[in-house]
Structure 1
Amino acid sequence: MTGFFITFEGGEGSGKTTQIARLAASLRARGLKVTTTREPGGTPGADALRHVILSGAAKALGPDMEAILFAAARADHVDTVIRPALEGGQIVLCDRFHDSTRVYQGLGGSETALIEVLEAATIGELYPDVTILLDIDAETGLARAAERRGTAVADRFEGEDITLHADRRRAFLSIAAAEPERFIVVDATRSADEIAREIRFIVEDRLESRRLETAGRGTAASVAAGPSPL
């Protein structure tokens, strides 16, 4: 697969949507092909499940059923949007992915074994090349989320207790500590401009590392093949 897969994670109000838009614009200005998407959602079917989940209609069915709905949306999303874009050599920027399921449904009561089975079934080996965790304390994040939505009603997750939001932050940081090669933790309490600059530098560095790695494999293959016949 020739593309590059970047996911953005973080609590409510961490600024993922803003930073994805800024990064996409920066990469496109360099002539790179970029697909931006989100979870739950990204396809008509997944967007329909998004409405069911975020409205709170699925909450009464229990955490396991909610995790299964997320998995169904992700399977459609991966097959319809993410995998084709990566196979076409694009950079994919996704607002939430499997780490959010680990955190939100994991803390919500779903068994780890179920989450692991659903993860394997929906994404297989399609893990992000880089995950950017926009880290912000729960109180600040929720205040930002409330300002953003104005008079609209808080969704299924935004409306939950601040203690649970703080637990989610710790869970994200725990996953990041366990997978330091994939995760980059970014302080999301700063200005949007400062955050965007840091993310741009991070991504440019990772893309250059991928380019050099690919070039190195090509050189090694040429040496192994030996000289071309005259």
Structure 2
Amino acid sequence: MTAAPARILETQALTARYGHVQALSAADIHVCAGELVAVLGPNGAGKSTLLRAILGLASTTGTASFHGTPLPRQDPVAVSSRGVVLVPEGRGIFGPMTVSENLQLGAYRLRSDKAEYERRLTRVLALFPRLGERLSQTAGSMSGGEQQMLAIGRALMSDPKILLLDEPSLGLAPRVIAEIMEKLALLRDEGLPILLVEQKAPAALKLAQRAYVLVLGRIVACLDPRDLSSHDDLAKYYFH
């Protein structure tokens, strides 16, 4: 019998509130080694809140565990130091700084290990060659797609053990979305676990081994993308 793959990230009854408003209710999800797992759902479903709860950016109950050990609550620096790294919605790059400076910030914990820094930088620039052409350009002057590449590249500079992405396709043209998704597929195939929150379900389902559907703060389904033959198969869960 083949052993089940190890669970890298897992939440159990994870609940999050903003003041008196409960935005996430008892969410149970997991990401195994080498998996790309999608979280889908309509606007306002609580998808971004799920990521914020995992990172310790929201008031929570329940647990989020990494390699079986609970992650700290309300301490995102400690969570990211464990290798749980978020590419936020809106990218979060530093516009007045250059591409090179943004990438350096991603690797700030390296301090003086120049060889390791160069190894990570080489990997990022191989994945996103356009960043190599724009190292001295200010990040805010690049296109939206290039800024998204930079946001992912900066996250990779921290050598994540799992990558969390919040709506990476937001505001991008279809051609650019396809390119971003292609790069995520490469990272998945290299063995990097990925938790992908995405509004554009078809693009995410092409990559995912599993998808959770989140509606009004609750997980209403866990799906195998191969079982979805049409948009209607997915849409019915949105009106659960």
Does the TM-score normalized on the shorter chain lie above 0.5? no
Structure with bigger helix share is 1
User: Hey, which of these two has a bigger chunk of strand by percent?
Assistant: 2
The higher radius of gyration belongs to 1
TM-score, structure 1 as length reference: 0.38
